[in-house]
Amino acid sequence: MSKVFVFDHPLIQHKLSILRDKRTSVKEFRELISEIAMLMCYECTRDLPLEDVDVETPVATAHCKRIAGKKLAIVPILRAGLGLVDGMVNMIPNVKVGHIGLFRDPDTLKPVKYYFKMPPDITERDVIVVDPMLATGGSASAAITFLKEAGVQHVKLMCVIGAPEGVAKMQEDHPDVDIYVAALDEKLNDHGYIVPGLGDAGDRIFGTK
């Protein structure tokens, strides 16, 4: 069974409270979601392997640690996942970025794929799939199925807000994928929106509503 990590760090919780507020402007929403991504990235990468290196400081030799050449990729689910990319790339400047385009059919709530473009060596990389919202879990589960079909072996899922329904679907479909969220909310409403959530993440990032 996969693990679910809920980030209770005060900075994340504080920023998330402003993100949820319906009065928050598009500009502020973009800035905050990027900052939250940066902070969450810090925790999602906690298990990266390190190797020993000796560094000559101006005074003496320091026995240090560096990341042991782990190959990583982040994969935002378009559109709203794009809002998390800058924050992640700020933390991991050399990370490769693949893109999966999915939208939820508003009637069936099922994900529809319209784009899939990965770095050529994606099968050698550990992947962090990013999307602000894990609602029914249909989009995240489908995205991860497409990645596994492409040969990816190690995946984590990072979302800002998760619903219990989405977590349950992910654990059913992908028990090997750990889930990282800033908050686990109460439920979904009849339109598949997370309650209380933050509304439509894509619309709030891109100002399309």
For the question of residue 52 being annotated catalytic, the response is no
Site map for ligand PRP, 54-93, x if CB under 6 A? Answer: -----------------------x-xx-------------
Asked whether the bond before 23 is cis by omega within 30 degrees of 0, the reply is: no
* Candidates 24, 30, 86, 104; catalytic one: 104
| Amino acid letter, residue 1 | M
The residue number whose beta carbon is nearest to ligand PRP equals 202
CA–CA distance from 138 to each of 67, 91, 145, 184, 205 (Å)?
33, 28, 10, 17, 21
For strands 126-130 and 96-97, give the pairing: unpaired
> Which residue in 32, 85, 98, 139 binds ligand PRP (CB under 6 A)?
139
Instruction: Give the phi and the psi of residue 160 in degrees, each rounded to 5.
Output: -80, -50
> Which residue in 76, 98, 166, 197 binds ligand PRP (CB under 6 A)?
166
Q: Give the footprint of ligand URA on residues 116-155 (CB under 6 A).
A: 133, 135
Question: What positions carry a catalytic annotation?
Answer: 104, 108, 200, 203
